[in-house]
Structure 1
Amino acid sequence: MSDYSFCQNSEDEKQLTWKPIQKHVKLETVIGNVTEIASESPEGSVGNYIVMDCPDWVIVIAEDKDEFLMVKQWRHGTQSLSIEFPGGVIDPGESSLEGALRELREETGCFPKTIVKLRELSPNPALFSNKVHFYYATELSQQGCQDLDEDEFLNYMRISKNEVLENMGKPPFIHGLMSSALLAYIQYKKNS
């Protein structure tokens, strides 16, 4: 017999839904704001929770024959280099598609003839308020050089799809959102 004092499964989402009461920005940063949210639980108790309010992000899986176009850059959180699909923050007033095209061009100098939105998801709904948008780009043409932001230092490279598929999740392919993007790509390819 279980020692659990509470076991419940219900279709009623009201039993799961919290009600935000008050928001207070604790810290403004260049990547987003740290916000404290006072929320009332379904049972009426109140708790304070920290959320990062960030702009939406975009990630572009750029495919050229049997290779992906990827970037290698330093990540301050892990203090290590990471190989990733091109991407970044969507600028104010920019659509996710415009952001995807801009980020691909800025980081690689390439432009796609075809680009398809795969999906969008929450990068970490417990801590972040934003969404990340995944795009799949093909028929790439080189239309210039990198045009990086002032604090952006990265190299772009072509890596075989097999190498990426075999190594995603292992150093230096450590960024969790890249695994999510790759899964969206695999699902798209399976269904197309």
Structure 2
Amino acid sequence: MSEKNLEWKVTAEKELLKTPVFTVKETTSLSPDGQEGHYIVTDAPDWVIVIPEIGGNFLMVKQWRHAHDGLSIEFPGGVVNKDEEPEIAANRELEEETGHKAGKLTYLGSANPNPALMENRVHFFAAEDLQRTGDQNLDEDEYVDFLQIPIGEVYTKIGGEEYPHALMMAALLKYTVYKRMGAK
């Protein structure tokens, strides 16, 4: 079957919910053979995830995740602001959440967090040659600790109770490919 025979065409969109974090829309689409379907789509800003390495450890953050109803250890990251380049957002988030800057920041690529429901992308960056710049500069509603964790421990525990965030697994995969293919 050709790709053309798999494509759907959006014929209408209706906003169902607008929040400060995302917008939920209902799209009406036509299937390749003309059948109409209604689908829920979430529109959100792009995100960045930064994988900072320092002396055989990853520099990670620990924060409360409300949907998880618990603490989560993650790589630093956050929202790409409107009209902001992902690289700028990556540097900003790293410094805000950890008080560190990267001497070398390498773009590892991007992915769609869930193409069945979401329109945005997450951008991955490796951060090396870290320098401490000062204290965290968290948003008003952020409560985040940062810690160094041995790289091997993260590989062992990723996806478990302490490291439940699926996008962190994707970030770790991108980092692993980067390291195996030869960091530049």
| Same fold by TM-score greater than 0.5 | yes
1:90 equivalent in alignment to 2:80? yes
Deviations 1:57-99 (A, max 9, x none): 0000000020000000111111111000000000111100000
The equivalent of 2:18 in structure 1 is 28
The equivalent of 2:123 in structure 1 is 133
SS at 2:92 equivalent:
helix
Alpha-carbon separation, structure 1, partners of 2:123 and 2:170:
11
Alpha-carbon separation, structure 2, partners of 1:19 and 1:183:
33
The equivalent of 1:173 in structure 2 is 163
Alpha-carbon separation, structure 2, partners of 1:24 and 1:101:
35
Alpha-carbon separation, structure 2, partners of 1:145 and 1:23:
44
How high is the TM-score relative to the length of structure 2?
Answer: 0.97
The equivalent of 2:91 in structure 1 is 101
SS at 2:135 equivalent:
coil
The equivalent of 1:62 in structure 2 is 52
Deviations 1:131-180 (A, max 9, x none): 00000000101101111111111100000001001111111100000000
Q: How many residues align?
A: 182
The equivalent of 1:5 in structure 2 is none
Deviation at 1:106, TM superposition (A): 0.3
Task: Tell me which amino acid in the other structure corresponds to 2:115.
Answer: P
The equivalent of 2:178 in structure 1 is 188
1:73 equivalent in alignment to 2:54? no
Task: Tell me which amino acid in the other structure corresponds to 1:131.
Answer: R
Question: Pick from 141, 148, 151: which aligns with 2:141?
Answer: 151
Structure 1 vs Structure 2 CA RMSD: 0.6
Deviation at 1:24, TM superposition (A): 1.1
Alpha-carbon separation, structure 2, partners of 1:172 and 1:16:
40
SS at 1:103 equivalent:
helix
Deviations 1:86-130 (A, max 9, x none): 000001111000000000000001001000000101000001100
SS at 1:100 equivalent:
helix
Unpaired stretches in structure 2, ≥5 consecutive residues: none
The equivalent of 1:39 in structure 2 is 29
User: Which has more radius of gyration?
Assistant: 1
SS at 2:7 equivalent:
coil
